[in-house]
Chain A
């Protein structure tokens, strides 16, 4: 190779490098700080290789996630280019122009929302709900479900005692009442010389915890957010007698079948209580299941999973999960859209599921091998078929806070009656919706 050729090659390489550098962006993706986020960091390395863009991440612990990120969106800050925001934020983010609308982009790139689990499209992407206006790509399907100590359930002496007491097998509960019986059965029981308790349930006060927990009882007892025939008509739906019975059920579960001191527990505390062998059952979002399976104490077949059991009025579970959106104040929107295009691919979604992320792509979850791919895969699918979500109105935070307060006041602090708590909630929500011009 002559000197001239070498110089040309080096010059070419430098030029190519500088062109690449000119188009390469440093994208920041904002999400909650939890296991799936770590999986996404690993997954995103493929995107960096393919696109030349550099990925940075801003992860905030769950209790501060909404505060921190909504502050960022409201202030039009430049920190996040991509946001994996909570499902309830979609209304506010769409109406206040904080996310960019993705319809044209989806049409151009051939991304169809029909390819995703319908509940995730409604929950994470649409605003207004039920209309084909998309502000996010379903990124992480999640739902509240239950984890139980299969190894304890299988113990012959416990099975015998349970059958003698309740007249049925100690097995996955078929109703909320059965779940309560099982939790009460384990409460204060000695197992392997250690006192254990029934169930770890959501009771957290500061962010959204107790609401995400209690709705799993309320929905199944007949609670509705509003009159199905007349939106925003709350009276008699939020505070129906059936809804009050659901709230009483949750309080009884808390009073009689949870570990002492569990008055402010959410995802992390429930995981800890379960993994340390304190409880027989735990309520939690599905995202924890890969971690349970991998845990040396409770994984490897010692745990089982089941969807939230039905109640007297229906069978629902609280939706979790998030969609991925492009932040309107970002000056790297083109690169951010590239990321979404890359993330929507079947191969990437397959890898996402294998890494511990819950794909919402139908091609992944409807694959014949999906159900047997993980012990919790079927429970995830069954749960995603029964989801219901909290308000996703722009004023969702105003609606969430009084619910946290009213429910915590009744369930944990024992203030008033269930009916009074829900009547108060109707007053609070009516005031918020009036302020919003929705009443």
Chain B
């Protein structure tokens, strides 16, 4: 049947076209189809990358079109790596990254484990849990600023209800000790469902027969969890960590809306700092070097991590 259809289509092909295509080898035909994508990739990915590498060795400023552009060798890189403020933003980024990953993996896995059990209203609960990740980060950032408001914020009232302390006696986004945790809480609230979904997929991919065999061997629930569930879900967990790690390394919108990088510079993450250098101070050359350092860092870490992930999968 399919063959008939293919013959029919081939016969309908105009003679000019078929003759032209006839002269093309499979390889050439493959190139013909792939080349638009490659051109696009070169234009929007590779060329900007090469151009950024070039700019990172210059003192170019996009807002000074009339000024000479000078080659400055490695000066931009030296300045960035010896700047204590940039190291502070790196620390803030690392704190944010590690805290959110730990919390999201723990909570996401726990939720997935609970949701995986069959009970009434399971589907509805799953839908409700995944709602936060469907919202725009800018919107989430904005409404959490209201939730965190000491006078009217629901969050402060809940804490007050649970602990008895005055709701207006603390400010989540204004206090130097609380602000780094304020952004962690919001990101965890928003993205734990994503980790949960990946874990849920992992849990549901474990064949029931393995648990049945373990039951026959009289393995306890605890033992089944540690020797079956955890090893089999580990690649999924690692994948979730990879996705969330890359996303949170470049976190921008949520934090800008929530704290603006403050108080002081406490929640100024690397991406926020980079944006300020590039599009507020207009230090194009300097910020290109900054971007390259971040790119190499995230690319390097991700490569090592992917290797580890492959090893775990192969086990």
Contacts and interface: CB of A to CB of B under 8 A. Distances in A.
Contact of B280 (A264, A278, A397): A397
Interface stretch (B49-57, B167-175, B228-236): B167-175
B169 A260 contact: yes
A262 B281 CA distance: 26
Contacts of A263: 171, 173-175, 262-263
Contacts of B171: 260-261, 263
B263 A205 contact: yes
A26 interface: no
B132 interface: no
Nearest to B272: A206
Interface in A376-416: 394, 397-398, 401, 405, 408-410, 412-415
B256 interface: yes
B264 interface: yes
B262 A408 contact: yes
Contacts of B170: 260
B282 A397 contact: yes
B257 to A, nearest CB: 10
Interface stretch (A66-74, A211-219, A299-307): A66-74
A81 interface: no
A74 B266 contact: no
Given A96-B63, A398-B282, A412-B174, A405 B259 contact: no
A408 B262 CA distance: 8
Given A260-B150, A261-B149, A263-B171, A206 B62 contact: no
Given A70-B63, A71-B279, A96-B65, A264 B151 contact: no
A74 B61 CA distance: 10
A413 B256 CA distance: 17
A159 to B, nearest CB: 27
A380 to B, nearest CB: 30
B76 interface: no
B281 A260 contact: no
Closest CB pairs A-B (n = 8): A413-B264, A263-B174, A409-B264, A206-B260, A205-B262, A260-B150, A261-B150, A261-B171
29 contacts: A67-B280, A92-B63, A96-B66, A195-B168, A205-B260, A205-B263, A206-B260, A260-B150, A261-B151, A261-B153, A261-B168, A261-B174, A262-B174, A263-B173, A263-B174, A263-B175, A263-B262, A264-B173, A264-B174, A278-B151, A398-B282, A398-B283, A401-B276, A401-B280, A405-B85, A408-B264, A413-B176, A413-B264, A414-B176
Interface in B268-310: 276, 279-283
Interface in A243-260: 259-260
B174 A260 contact: yes
B191 interface: no
